[in-house]
C-alpha cells in the first residue's frame, strides 16, 4: 500500500464521513494534501478503507468499515466519536488546535471583557437614554478560573493572564503554567471554584465531567460570578445555572454549547436576560489547517511513526 502517487502498489484508501456537512470541498482538500491516496465519500455499502476522516459518524459506518487502521476526528471534542462502538485497539485521533486555539482565545476574551467592563449595561444605558459612567473595575476583583488546561484551556489561561487578570486553572493531572495558579483532581476543585469569579469551561464531556457544574459547585464561585461555557452543554446543569442567576449569586453567562443543538426556540436559556448565547461557533474547524494536520499525521502513521492526539478510550478524551 502506498501514499506515493508514482508508486505502482495499491493506493491508501481514505473515506470521509461527516453527515450533514458538504463533502465536496473536504474531499478536494484531502485529495490535494494526499495525492497518492484514493479519497471517497462514505455511503452504506462503500468498499473498505484504511483511514476514516469523520465527524459524528453513524454506528453503521463503524460496523461496515472493518479494515480501518485509524480514525481521524474533525474536531477536538470526541464525545460524539465515542458514542460509536469501534473495534478494540483501533486508534481514534482528535484535532489538536488546528486554528481553534486562537478563535477560542478571542471568544473567551470577548466574553470576559463584556462582563468585566459592564458593556451590556452601557449598551442598555445608551439605548434607554442614560449617560452613567461607573467606577472602573479592578482585575484583582475578577479572578478567572479555567476548567481544563489542555490545548485550548492553556491558550486561554495564558491570554487572560497576559491581560492582567489573576488566573486559576484546573486539570485532572497536575500542570504547571507560568502566571496561572494550577489546581488538580477532585481534591483541588473546591479551592479552584472558591478562588474564581469568572469560570471558563474547557473540559471534555466524559463520564467524570458530565453534570459537573451543578448548583453546589456553581454556588462556590465568588458572588457576582460569570460562567463562560465553550466546551459542551452537558457539563453544566442548566436549571441550576438559571436559579443562581435569578437569585443574584451569578451575574451572567455566555454560552456557546448546549445539551441539545440547535437550542430549541422555547429553551429558557434563550430568553434569560443575563445569558448571551451563540450557536457553537467559539472555535470552528478550519478546513485548511485541519486537512494539513490530518494529512500530515496520516503520512506519519503510514511511515510507522507515533502521532499525537490519540484518544484514551478509558479516560474518555
Binding site for ligand NDP (CB under 6 A): 76-77, 100, 148-153, 170-173, 175, 202-206, 208-209, 230-232, 256-257, 280, 282-283, 317
- Residue 63 CA to chain centroid, in angstroms? 27
Binder of ligand OXD out of 56, 76, 212, 291 (CB under 6 A): 76
| Residue pair 175/149 in contact by the 8 Å Cβ criterion | yes
DSSP string across 97-112:
-TTHHHHHHHHHHHHH
- At 276, give phi and psi (nearest 5°): -105, 135
Question: Could you please report the per-residue DSSP string of 149-193?
Answer: -SHHHHHHHHHHHHTT--EEEEESS---BTTEEEEEHHHHHHHHH
Catalytic option among 280, 287, 313, 315: 280
Q: By CB under 6 A, which span of 31-39, 59-67, 72-80, 187-195 interacts with ligand OXD?
A: 72-80
DSSP state of 76: S
As a whole number of angstroms, the distance between CA 102 and CA 34 comes to 26
Task: Tell me how far apart the alpha carbons of residues 91 and 271 are, in angstroms, rounded to a whole number.
Answer: 42
Catalytic, 280? Answer yes
Should residue 71 be labelled a site residue for ligand OXD when binding is judged by CB under 6 A?
no
77 binds ligand OXD (CB under 6 A): yes
171 interface partner picked from ligand OXD, ligand NDP, none, CB below 5 to 8 A per type: ligand NDP
Supply 221's cell numbers. Answer: 464561585
Q: Which is nearer to ligand NDP, 69 or 175 (CB)?
A: 175
Q: Does 75 bind ligand OXD (CB under 6 A)?
A: yes
Task: Quote the CA–CA distance of 215 and 238 in Å, as a whole number.
Answer: 9
**Residues near 50 by beta carbon (within 8 Å), at least 6 away in sequence:** 1, 12, 13, 14, 67, 68, 69
Q: With respect to ligand NDP, which residue has the nearer C-beta, 15 or 241?
A: 241
222 binds, among ligand NDP, ligand OXD, none (CB under 5 to 8 A by kind): none
> Alpha-carbon distance 57 to 262, whole Å?
18
Active-site choice (51, 168, 232, 272):
232
Minimum Å distance from CB 247 to ligand NDP?
A: 27
Q: Which residue, 67 or 208, has its beta carbon nearer to ligand NDP?
A: 208
Task: State the minimum distance, in angstroms, from the CB of residue 231 to ligand OXD.
Answer: 8
Is 110 among the residues known to form the active site?
A: no
Catalytic residue annotation? 232, 280
What is the binding site for ligand OXD (CB under 6 A)?
75-77, 285
Amino acid at each position: 500500500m502506498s501514499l506515493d502517487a508514482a508508486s505502482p502498489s495499491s493506493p491508501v484508501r481514505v473515506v470521509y464521513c461527516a453527515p450533514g456537512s458538504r463533502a465536496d470541498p473536504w474531499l478536494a482538500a484531502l485529495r490535494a494534501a494526499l495525492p497518492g491516496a484514493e479519497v471517497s465519500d462514505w455511503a452504506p455499502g462503500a468498499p473498505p478503507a484504511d483511514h476514516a476522516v469523520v465527524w459524528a459518524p453513524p454506528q453503521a459506518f463503524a460496523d461496515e468499515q472493518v479494515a480501518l487502521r485509524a480514525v481521524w476526528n474533525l474536531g477536538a471534542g470526541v464525545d460524539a466519536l465515542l458514542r460509536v462502538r469501534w473495534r478494540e485497539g483501533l486508534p481514534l485521533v482528535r484535532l489538536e488546535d488546528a486554528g481553534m486555539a486562537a478563535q477560542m482565545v478571542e471568544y473567551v476574551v470577548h466574553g470576559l471583557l463584556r462582563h468585566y467592563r459592564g458593556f451590556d449595561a452601557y449598551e442598555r444605558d445608551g439605548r434607554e437614554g442614560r449617560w452613567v459612567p461607573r467606577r472602573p473595575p479592578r482585575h484583582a476583583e475578577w479572578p478567572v478560573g479555567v476548567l481544563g488546561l489542555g490545548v485550548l484551556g492553556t491558550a486561554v489561561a495564558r491570554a487572560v493572564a497576559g491581560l492582567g487578570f489573576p488566573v486559576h486553572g484546573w486539570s485532572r493531572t497536575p500542570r504547571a503554567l507560568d502566571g496561572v495558579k494550577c489546581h488538580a483532581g477532585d481534591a483541588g476543585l473546591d479551592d479552584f471554584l472558591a478562588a474564581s469569579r469568572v469560570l471558563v469551561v474547557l473540559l471534555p464531556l466524559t463520564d467524570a465531567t458530565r453534570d459537573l457544574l451543578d448548583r453546589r459547585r456553581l454556588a462556590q464561585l465568588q458572588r457576582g460570578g460569570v460562567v463562560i461555557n465553550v466546551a459542551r452543554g452537558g457539563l453544566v446543569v442548566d436549571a441550576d445555572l438559571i436559579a443562581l442567576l435569578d437569585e443574584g449569586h451569578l451575574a451572567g453567562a455566555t454560552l456557546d454549547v448546549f445539551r441539545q443543538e440547535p437550542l430549541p426556540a422555547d429553551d429558557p436559556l434563550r430568553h434569560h436576560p443575563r445569558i448571551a448565547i451563540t450557536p457553537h461557533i467559539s472555535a470552528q474547524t478550519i478546513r485548511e489547517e485541519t486537512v494539513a494536520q490530518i494529512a500530515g499525521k496520516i503520512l506519519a502513521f503510514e511511515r510507522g511513526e507515533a502521532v499525537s492526539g490519540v484518544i484514551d478510550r478509558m479516560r474518555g478524551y
